Amino acid sequence: MNWPGNLIRDRFIEFFESKGHKWHPSASLVPRQDPTVLLTTAGMLPFKPVFMGVEPAPEPPRAVTIQKCFRTTDLDLVGRTARHHTFFQMLGNFSFGDYFKAEAIAHAWEFLTGWLQIDQSKLWISVYESDDEAIAIWRDQIGVPADRIVRMGADSNFWAAGPTGPCGPCSEIYFDLGPDAGNGNPEAILGEDDDRYLEIWNLVFMEFNRDEAGNLSPLPAKNIDTGMGLERIASVMQGVSSNFDTDLVKPIVDQIQAIAGLPGIVTGEPRVSLRLMADHLRGATFLVGDGVVPTNEGRGYVLRRIIRRAIRHARLLGIRRPFVREVAEAIIERYGYYPELAAQRAHILEVLAAEEARFGQTIDRGTQLLQTAFDALQGKSTVLTGTTAFELYDTYGFPLELTMELARELGFTVDEAGFHTCMEEQRERARQAREEAGVTFQAMELRHQERTDFVGYQNLSCPATVREVLVDPQGRTGVVLGSTPFYAESGGQVGDQGWLGEAAVVDVQKQGDVIVHLLAEGARAPEIGSTLEARVDVARREATMRHHTATHLLHAALKQVLGDQVHQAGSLVGPGELRFDFSFVRAMTPEELERVENLVNAQILANRGVAHLEMSIARAREEGAMALFGEKYGEVVRVIDVPGFSKELCGGTHVTSTGSIGAFKIVREEGIASGVRRIQAVAGAAAIDLVRDRFRVLERACETLKASPDDLSDRLERLQDRVKESDHMVRELRTQLAIARTSALADRVESLGTCQLLVQQVQDLEPEALRAAAENLLARFDRGLVVLASATGGRVALVAAVSPSLVSEGAHAGKLVSQVLGKIGGKGGGKPQLAQGGGGDVEALPSALGEASTILREQLKVSV
């Protein structure tokens, strides 16, 4: 009995297709149409709308899938147990209001005992404690002995995808691994010895919906949702004691073991590291393949965390060179069942290699800082301060969980509350900065919470009754109307401006369902109960609409050019520009930016109609409208559709035809965070203004250089060459001058044992010239050590040079520079023979230089 994992997968699909099920490819690990879920954690999640009755069942109403899943609930156990994973593959068969308990149980038993030929005497059954119907089916129809059927409580045999949503009692099938796998008791039964009995299949009889209050109500239909982990059933069919020893994972473990140079059978903590790395890199490969990139939030944070855990464990095994890329390449080759891996191969390898390089630059420094903190705590405390943990996160990119893991290994804990306090203080500083810039809206205390009727999709002016007048903590006046044409800031679109009667409105914000109009400073507030004319600034609104629709076109164009891994990470849409943040691991090339810009302008020139549709969330999902993770949508949603190009859920205001946008121009593309890029662009009149301004700059440049636009580039290149040549001559002259000015310093050399030591401060020398002077002086000594410092423009520059013969005796220029500058708040370092640095307190420099002799004596072990 040694079935390869791929064969088990193929047989599972073949079996259920023979039972009238339709095979569906695995859905993405990123739930495309469920913005409330971070990652796909179960085989049923792609079918959740069907189970809830908000989408029709597929035809036929039976499905079979091999679903990619990812969970972090047991992250600390990965590698330490035989069964826990982050990424795993779930074999599942589903019935949508078709068959129920009897057929689901019979199918499972036939596949296990018939197709896989598992010994029936090795199988045990658990059922929900009150599910007499399931017990009767197992006992009377299937023929399982009553003593191998065990009733269990809701904690194990009532399944739910989360705190709310579809749920129901379940029946689980266990494989008896034998007494040696448990506590050695041959009489042990299911429920008494978990290690002996391996759960291999869970049959969920999904018939209820749990609401936020915990109440259960019947679903529109009784459904079947089953799940069998491929890694687990493979361990049974291959006769191995651990999922990590199956052909699905072991080759990855073996490859990492070879990279680490570990011979033979590995046990203990090194084996934990090997298994953890294999699991995490497999999961990371699949996450990136489905469009996730490393960030500090949401699913991007999950990805970053597992990659960095894997790299940290690689260091524990002695792996110092880059290795993630080659492991990922092998994973892509091994998992050919999932075509998206091969399709995204280049992107996956690029993202993983970039994250490894990024963390590799800081992990050693961060780990050293952490070890220093632990050393300082020895004998005093077992708790690492939240401040230190936050510094590791903020400076070195150490996720809090990774710091906690390192602390736990050494017998320490982390002050989590202190960490979160530091995080909140940072956010508060950012909030205060935004407030000082005048961009923060402070909530007002509303007396009434009645929803404001927004009529601004159809009308830009209307008579309105004043419901409430209030003042916010900054002293600004806010007005609440019964109905309004003013769009309140939301979804990245800025609030409208305009007038309430004669009073100017400078901003519009939402508090729940209430829209608050902020008046200009000094504007006279209207009386409560009065009726006035609410008028939106039409030109400003139209300019904003152009930018908002252009943002949708930009999003779609980016996906076409860069791939489906692009996901919106934020946006700001106003009358003067648009900003669009998106997940992507590298800077876009000029060619890619041009292609994106051309795609958007092609849609504008085609003057396509823009449909503003209202429909149910179920229909919007069915039609493929893009939803954003973290956004809350009601049962009725607004969809903005540019046929054949873009379709998104959006509550903002938009043009009715793409031609109204006029023109689109990208201003810049830049990185704003790890794995997040930003495009700033303009549309309509703002695009025309930008082009006009750029032409003016071009004309002035041509006038200054007396060149035509066609010749300008060549003229600038020639001018640049002349500037470079002049700069080189200036540097050479400065170097020669520095050498001439400092030559006489050789007479001030001191003896340090059998060595010559020269430590001097000179005036107004740039770092490059200072270095040349130090090297020139060193050449005059057989066994010399030269330390020169200069203060220029309020900044310290320091250079140390050491003869090669003294390096072998312990002298180290890099350590000397680091220690001297450390005493004055500067930074520096370098190689043993030559090092430099700068910064710090200029006034403290003389006393710090006085320590150089002492430091060198310690390095060379020369007595005073």
CATH number of the domain within which 36 lies: 3.30.930.10
Locate 608 and state its tokens.
């396509």
Which ranges of 743-851 does DSSP label H, i.e. alpha helix? 767-778, 804-807, 813-822, 845-849
Beta bridge pairs of residue 468? 480
Q: For residues 530 and 656, state if they share a domain.
A: no
- Centroid of chain to Cα 312: 18
From residue 763, give the alpha-carbon distance in Å to each of 100, 266, 730, 789, 846. 89, 61, 18, 8, 13
Q: Which helix (H) or strand (E) element contains residue 504?
A: strand 503-511
CATH number (domain holding residue 786) = 3.10.310.40
Locate 833 and state its tokens.
């023979």
Residue 388 included in any domain: yes
Dist CA 647 CA 625 (whole Å): 5
Locate 372 and state its tokens.
């220093």
Q: For residues 229 and 257, state if they share a domain.
A: no
Q: For residues 794 and 655, state if they share a domain.
A: no
DSSP string, 784-807: EEEEEEEEETTEEEEEEEE-HHHH
Q: For residues 320 and 431, state if they share a domain.
A: no
For 209, the 3-state DSSP assignment is: strand
Residue 738 neighbours by CB under 8 Å, 6+ apart: 765, 769, 770, 772, 773
For 121, the 3-state DSSP assignment is: helix
Residue 368 included in any domain: no
Q: For residues 499 and 583, state if they share a domain.
A: no
Q: 826: closest CA among 844, 813, 839, 814?
A: 839
CATH number (domain holding residue 486) = 2.40.30.130
The 3 state secondary structure assigned to 33-69 is: CCCCCCCCCCCCHHHHHHHHCCCCCCCCCEEEEEEEE
Residue 706 included in any domain: no
DSSP state of 841: -
| Contact yes or no for 299/290 (Cβ under 8 A) | no
Report the pLDDT value the prediction gives residue 437, as an integer from 0 to 100: 43
Omega before 322 within 30 of 0, i.e. cis? no
Which ranges of 823-851 does DSSP label H, i.e. alpha helix? 845-849
From residue 499, give the alpha-carbon distance in Å to each of 316, 517, 736. 65, 10, 70
Over residues 22-61, the pLDDT tens digits come to 999 999 998 866 666 789 999 998 898 888 777 888 999 9
Q: How many domains does the chain have?
A: 6
- Burial bucket for residue 110 (CB in 10 Å: 0-12, 13-18, 19+): middle
From residue 505, give the alpha-carbon distance in Å to each of 61, 445, 450, 576. 55, 19, 21, 18
Q: For residues 131 and 174, state if they share a domain.
A: yes
Containing domain of residue 430, as a range?
381-438
Residue reference for tokens 């320590």: 851
Residue 532 included in any domain: yes
The torsion angle over the Cα atoms of residues 54, 60, 65 and 71, rounded to 10 degrees, is: 10
- Centroid of chain to Cα 778: 51
**Residue that is last in its domain, among 210, 240, 270:** 240
Residue 376 neighbours by CB under 8 Å, 6+ apart: none
Q: What share of the chain is helix, strand, coil (3-state, %, to 5)?
A: 40, 25, 35
Residue 62 included in any domain: yes
Omega before 60 within 30 of 0, i.e. cis? yes
**In which order are the strands placed within the sheet that holds 827-830?**
750-752, 755-763, 784-792, 795-802, 834-838, 827-830
Locate 13 and state its tokens.
């699909």
| Contact yes or no for 762/742 (Cβ under 8 A) | yes
Q: For residues 123 and 26, state if they share a domain.
A: yes
Residue 408 included in any domain: yes
Q: For residues 132 and 78, state if they share a domain.
A: yes
Q: For residues 516 and 561, state if they share a domain.
A: no
**Residue that is last in its domain, among 481, 508, 536:** 536
Maximum Cα–Cα distance across the chain: 106
Residue 355 included in any domain: yes
| Contact yes or no for 176/197 (Cβ under 8 A) | yes
| Contact yes or no for 303/288 (Cβ under 8 A) | yes
Report the pLDDT value the prediction gives residue 375, as an integer from 0 to 100: 81
**How many Cβ atoms are within 10 Å of 155's Cβ, its own excluded?**
6
Residue 92 included in any domain: yes
| Contact yes or no for 289/272 (Cβ under 8 A) | no
Q: For residues 299 and 385, state if they share a domain.
A: no
**Residue that is last in its domain, among 183, 205, 240:** 240
Q: For residues 293 and 428, state if they share a domain.
A: no
Residue reference for tokens 């050479």: 732
For 213, the 3-state DSSP assignment is: coil
Burial 65-97 (b: 16+ CB within 10 A, else e): bbbbbbbbeebeebbeebbbbbbbbbbbbbbbb
Mean pLDDT in consecutive groups of 10 residues from the start of the chain, 864 residues: 90 97 93 76 88 84 96 89 94 95 96 96 95 96 94 90 83 92 76 81 92 86 94 96 96 96 91 96 95 84 92 90 95 94 89 88 77 81 87 78 81 89 80 51 73 94 94 83 95 94 93 91 91 96 96 96 85 94 89 97 96 85 71 78 94 95 95 84 94 90 86 86 84 80 83 87 85 88 90 86 89 89 85 89 86 85 64
| Contact yes or no for 691/662 (Cβ under 8 A) | no
Report the pLDDT value the prediction gives residue 194, as an integer from 0 to 100: 64
Dist CA 66 CA 12 (whole Å): 9
**How many Cβ atoms are within 10 Å of 272's Cβ, its own excluded?**
17
| Contact yes or no for 47/64 (Cβ under 8 A) | no
Report the pLDDT value the prediction gives residue 377, as an integer from 0 to 100: 82
Q: For residues 106 and 223, state if they share a domain.
A: yes
